[in-house]
Chain A
Amino acid sequence: AQSVTQLDSQVPVFEEAPVELRCNYSSSVSVYLFWYVQYPNQGLQLLLKYLSGSTLVKGINGFEAEFNKSQTSFHLRKPSVHISDTAEYFCALYTNAGKSTFGDGTTLTVKP
C-alpha cells in the first residue's frame, strides 16, 4: 500500500520569505511524485512532477522540489513567495497500478 503524509496542515509566511512544504511518502514499489496547487474556487493544477532522472525538479511559478529516496521525501520549496501563492498544495504519488494517492493538503497563507 502507498501513503502520502504532508507534515504541515497550515503554513503562514510573510511575502518575499522562503517557504518549504513538506511531504513524505511510503511505497513498496517505484513511484512518481507530484505537487498540485488548488487556488480558491478552482481545480487542481499541476505544479511539478518527478518521474525519473535529476532529483531536483523545477515547476511553474518559481517552485521546485527535491526527491530524496533515502528519506522518502519530496519537499516543495520557493525562495520568495508572493501574495498570489496563497492556495492549498497537495503532494501525490502515482504508481503503475493506475491511481494517485494524495496527502491531506497544506494551506499556504502569504501575508503582506
Chain B
Amino acid sequence: EAGVTQFPSHSVIEKGQTVTLRCDPISGHDNLYWYRRVMGKEIKFLLHFVKESKQDESGMPNNRFLAERTGGTYSTLKVQPAELEDSGVYFCASSQVAGSRGEQYFGPGTRLTVT
C-alpha cells in the first residue's frame, strides 16, 4: 500500500511568487492534515480536512495560504504571494478515522525555500 506522498520534494521560489504544494493521502483516509516546520522550530499544525471539508483551520498563518481538497482525495496548499518567512518544510499526514487515536501517517515533506 502506498504511503502519503507529497509533491514537489523541494521548491525554490522568489518572494512574491506563487507556489502550490500537493499531498496525496493514503487511499481511503478521510482525514488529511497539513503541518509545517519553519526555521528549525517545532512542527506546527496548519489545518485538518475531513473528506473535502475543513474541520479545523486554526493553524493557518494568514490569508496568503489557501488549502483545498476537492473531491476529498488529494489536497493542495497554495501560498500566494510567498514571503521569506514561509520558508520551511511542509508536511502532510492522513488518518483513517477522526479521533483514531493519533494514527497519523506522515509524508516526506516539501522543503520550500523563498529567496
Pick the residue among A45, A49, A51, A90 that contacts B43 (CB under 8 A): A90
Complex: A4 Cα to B59 Cα, angstroms: 17
Q: Which residue of B lies closest to A105 (CB)?
A: B42
Q: Which residue of A lies closest to B105 (CB)?
A: A46
Interface of A is mostly: strand
Which chain A positions have C-beta within 8 A of B109?
43-44
Contact between chains at A43 and B101 (CB < 8 Å)? no
CB-CB under 8 A for A51 and B41, given A44-B91, A98-B48 = no
Q: Which residue of B lies closest to A52 (CB)?
A: B101
Interface size class of B (residues with CB under 8 A): 20 to 34
Interface size class of A (residues with CB under 8 A): 20 to 34
Complex: A105 Cα to B37 Cα, angstroms: 11
Q: Which residue of B lies closest to A44 (CB)?
A: B106
Pick the residue among A43, A96, A99, A103 that contacts B45 (CB under 8 A): A99
- Give A residues with C-beta under 8 Å from B: 4, 32, 34, 36, 42-46, 49, 51, 90, 92, 94, 96-105
- Give B residues with C-beta under 8 Å from A: 31, 33, 35, 40-45, 48, 55-56, 59, 91, 93, 98-99, 101-102, 104-109
